Amino acid sequence: MKVLETFELERGLVVAVAPLSRLPTTQRLEARITRDDGTVIKTTAYKERLLIRDPKLLRDGEEAFLLHGMTKANVPVGSEIIIEIAPAALAKALSANHADKYRALGWTLKYEFRAQGDDEPYEYVFEWQLPGEPVRPS
């Protein structure tokens, strides 16, 4: 895809691209931007749905993506961009204390495993669903 236009919003940088994709609107995506000088930048992206409502901003055959932590200087118009579904960032905790540390950092609990007849889980699986790189407890 080619970056056709950029818009700086309070939420981050939005890029208009073509052609249309079948990427989901509710899932964290991974963007790889290749600038004209060959520099490659990676960031988290989300399909932007609000700009679709304003026909002055996007033309037929274009769609928009919100890029986390980027500015117009990072992503010049004309850059090539590859956007794919980001692999899930998962983490495992083996104690309630360690699980609490993941929760405090913003991780989402996906599964708890319990031994039969035991109320206390012995393993917790978390997923990072926030923008940017996962933050892990020290």
Coil, strand or helix: which one is 100?
helix
Q: What is the mean pLDDT of residues 1-10?
A: 89
Predicted local distance difference test score (pLDDT) of residue 2: 92
Q: What is the pTM of this model?
A: 0.66
Confidence of residue 126 (pLDDT cuts 50, 70, 90): very high
Residue 67: domain span: 2-85
Q: Is residue 117 part of a domain?
A: yes
Q: Are residues 9 and 76 in the same domain?
A: yes
Is there a single domain that holds both residue 63 and residue 79?
A: yes
| Number of separate domains in the chain | 2
Q: Is residue 36 domain-shared with residue 81, that is, in the same domain?
A: yes
If asked whether residues 26 and 69 sit together in one domain, one would say yes
* Distance from the Cα of residue 101 to its chain's centroid: 22
Longest CA–CA separation in the chain, Å = 61
Better-predicted residue by pLDDT, 88 or 60: 88
> Quick check: 137 and 124 in contact, CB under 8 A?
no
pLDDT 10s digits, 16-74: 898 888 888 778 889 999 999 999 999 989 888 765 556 666 667 788 899 988 999 99
Are 76 and 112 in a shared domain?
A: no
What DSSP line would sit under 62-88, residue for residue?
-EEEEETT--TTTS-TT-EEEEEEPPP
7 and 65 both lie in a single domain: yes
Query: What is the spatial distance between Cα 83 and Cα 66, in angstroms, rounded to a whole number?
Result: 11
